[in-house]
Amino acid sequence: MALATFGAGCFWGVEETFRQVPGVINTTVGYMGGTLENPTYEDVCTDRTGHAEVVQIEYNPEQVSYLDLLDIFWNNHNPTTLNRQGPDVGTQYRSVIFYHNEEQKKLAEASKEKMDKSGRWKNPIVTEITPASTFWRAEEYHQRYLQKRGLDSCHI
C-alpha cells in the first residue's frame, strides 16, 4: 500500500471523489502543513494555523497509480484560485500536493507543469507541492461526511 495526500478545498467532496476510485483502500480527512499541534476544525478555520484541509489516501499502486490520482486531483478542483475553492475562502482551502517521497515529488511537479501548459485554465496554477508533514486526523463527524448523509458531492 502507498499514501497520497491532497488538499483541494473543502475535504468532504475531495474525500468522496477519491473514495470512489478503484484501488483506493481508505480515505481519511484531516489537516496538514500547519504549525499548531493537534489542531481542531475550529482552530484551522481561524486561518491562523497554516493547515490545509486534506484527504490522505491509502491506495494499492498495482490497481491505481499515483499519476492516476494526480489526474483526479487536477480534474476535480480549480488549481488556479489562491486559497479558495468556490465559496470557501482561506488558506485551509488551498490547492496543495503533499508528497511522501521523491518519486511523488517528481511526478507531481511534472504533472503540474503539464497541466499549466495545457491551456485548460486562463490563469496559472497556484498549487503548492510540498513535503508531507504530520497528518492530523479530523474529528470523526468529518470522516465520510457526504457518504453519511447520502450525498455524492458538495456545492462545487
Question: What domain count does the chain have?
Answer: 1
Give burial (CB, 10 Å; 0-12/13-18/19+) of 38: exposed
Spot the catalytic one: 2, 3, 10, 138. 10
Over residues 84-103, the mean pLDDT reads 95
The predicted structure's pLDDT at residue 140: 85
Give the H or E element holding residue 147.
helix 145-148
Give the CA angle between residues 36, 11, 28 to the nearest 5°. 80
pLDDT-based confidence at residue 50 (cuts at 50, 70, 90) = very high
Let me know if residue 90 belongs to a domain: yes
Q: Flag whether 13 is in a domain.
A: yes
Which pLDDT score is estimated for 98? 98
Tell me how far apart the alpha carbons of residues 152 and 156 are, in angstroms, rounded to a whole number. 11
If one counts every other C-beta atom within 10 angstroms of the C-beta of residue 15, the result is 27
Q: Is residue 155 part of a domain?
A: no
Q: In which band, very low, low, confident or very high, does the pLDDT at 144 lie, cut at 50, 70 and 90?
A: confident
Residue 156 lies in a domain: no
User: In which band, very low, low, confident or very high, does the pLDDT at 60 lie, cut at 50, 70 and 90?
Assistant: very high
Residue 59 lies in domain: 2-148
C-alpha count within 13 angstroms, C-beta hemisphere, residue 121: 17
Residue 1 pLDDT exceeds 60 = yes
Residue 83 in any domain: the answer is yes
Which has the closest alpha carbon to 92: 15, 33, 5? 33
- Whole-prediction pTM value? 0.94
User: What pLDDT, in 10s, does the model give residues 22-31?
Assistant: 999 999 999 9
154 located within any domain: no
- Judge whether 29 lies within some domain: yes
Q: What is the mean pLDDT of the chain?
A: 93
Instruction: Output the pLDDT for position 156.
Output: 46
Active site residue 10: yes
Asked if residue 118 belongs to a domain, the reply is: yes
- Look up the CATH number of the domain holding residue 73: 3.30.1060.10
Quick check: 151 pLDDT over 70? no
